[in-house]
Amino acid sequence: MRTRVCDLLGIKYPILQGGMAWVATAELVAAVSEAGGLGIIGSGQATPQWVRKQVHKVKELTGKPFGVNVMLLSPYAEEIINLLAEERVAVVTTGAGNPGKYLNLLHSAGSKVIPVVSSVALAKRLSRSGVDALIAEGMESGGHVGEITTMVLVPQVVDAVKVPVIAAGGICDGRGMAAALMLGAEGVQMGTRFICASECTVHENVKDAIIKSKDRDSIVTGRPTGHPVRVLKNKLTKKFIEFEETGAPAEEYEKLGVGRMKLAMVDGDIDMGSVMAGQVSAMVQKVEPARDIINSVINEAERTIRLTYSSKVVD
């Protein structure tokens, strides 16, 4: 299971852990990197001071490469990028925007830059500007999403760029990883499955909600604001849907949305908080150590690919 992504990032298995705000903290990140994947701190809207502390904590816990995700809608995005360059963090992933203007600085610090894209147009633009790889994320994902599914987005991005493509959205097991590799991806990023890692410090209610959820339990809200997000259905999403049906003004959405992710992920209010999780919530069955997650995904992917290959040979 060695691909260009392993060599580029200096990791054993081409599995990245999504850099989820309020969820992907130093403990989870270090556990994923120690197990041979790439752990990624989720900086979300956190302050630069918080991010620097988390970076130091991961460095204390592991000598393996790790990353930080920068959410480009954050007011602190630029300051965070500057500190990541200073700290010479191995990998910087970005979400919710175009990181083009930060490429030179990050590359001169020796960091690999891997933006998340949800469209072919942005993938092409960024590959021309010299990013090291791309994460093509389908709308099955949790959190801020685009409009195209992983199945349809990944092969188009693979055809459009020369850099390695990492598939994200709708992947939580070895079958999904095998499928992503068949589509031309050279690695996968998983978020939801790692929320349910034992080392993840998210509130227990969130892990329980994911484990209990079924196929139709997630929904995309916020389309009218231009920032659609996939979350698990709850009392809060009912309110958002009411807003959509009555055509409430953007300020009303914003007011209702403030602080909701922390409320769910840290305080455990899964009724009135934003439980950002992907469609695969329905497939995640238990809490287990990050190392077990990675080993089982890799073993199942290898077995699936071997089975597929041998059945083709028999045909």
Tell me which residues touch ligand TUI (CB under 6 A).
21, 44, 71, 73, 95-98, 116-118, 122, 137, 143-146, 227, 229, 276
Between CA 1 and CA 238 the distance in angstroms is 43
Strands 218-221 and 229-232: antiparallel
- Closest approach of ligand TUI to the CB of residue 143, in Å: 2
* Nearer residue to ligand TUI within complex by CB, 34 or 269: 269
Give the residue with the Cβ less far from ligand TUI, 21 or 91: 21
Order across the sheet with 187-190: list the strands: 15-17, 187-190, 165-168, 134-137, 112-117, 91-95, 67-71, 40-42
3-state secondary structure of 19: coil
CB of 133 to ligand TUI, least distance (A): 14
Element (H, E) at 125: helix 120-128
Contact in structure between 230 and 278 (CB atoms under 8 Å): yes
**Measured from the CB atom, is 62 or 156 closer to ligand TUI?**
156
Q: What is the DSSP letter of 195?
A: H
Closest CB 15 distance from ligand TUI, rounded Å: 17
Please, what is the minimum distance in Å from the beta carbon of residue 249 to ligand TUI? 17
- In the complex, what is the shortest distance from the CB of residue 138 to ligand TUI, in angstroms, rounded to a whole number? 9
Amino acid letter for position 267: D
Rounded distance between C-alpha atoms, residue 15 and residue 37, angstroms: 5
Rank residues 38 and 301 by Cβ distance to ligand TUI and give the closer one.
Answer: 38
Judged by CB, which is closer to ligand TUI: 234, or 304? 234
AA letter at 7: D
Nearer to ligand TUI, 73 or 152 (CB): 73
Output 81 or 178, the one with its CB closest to ligand TUI. 81
- Measured N-to-C along each axis, helices 290-314 and 26-34 cross at an angle, to the nearest 10 degrees, of 40
8 A C-beta contact, residue 163 and residue 133? yes
Q: Which residue is nearest to ligand TUI (CB)?
A: 143
CB of 101 to ligand TUI, least distance (A): 11
Strand order in the sheet with 218-221: 143-144, 229-232, 218-221
Q: Are 265 and 202 in contact (CB under 8 A)?
A: yes
Nearer to ligand TUI, 15 or 72 (CB): 72
Q: 3-class SS at 163?
A: coil
> Shortest approach of ligand TUI to residue 261 CB, angstroms?
7
Smallest separation, CB 299 to ligand TUI (Å): 28
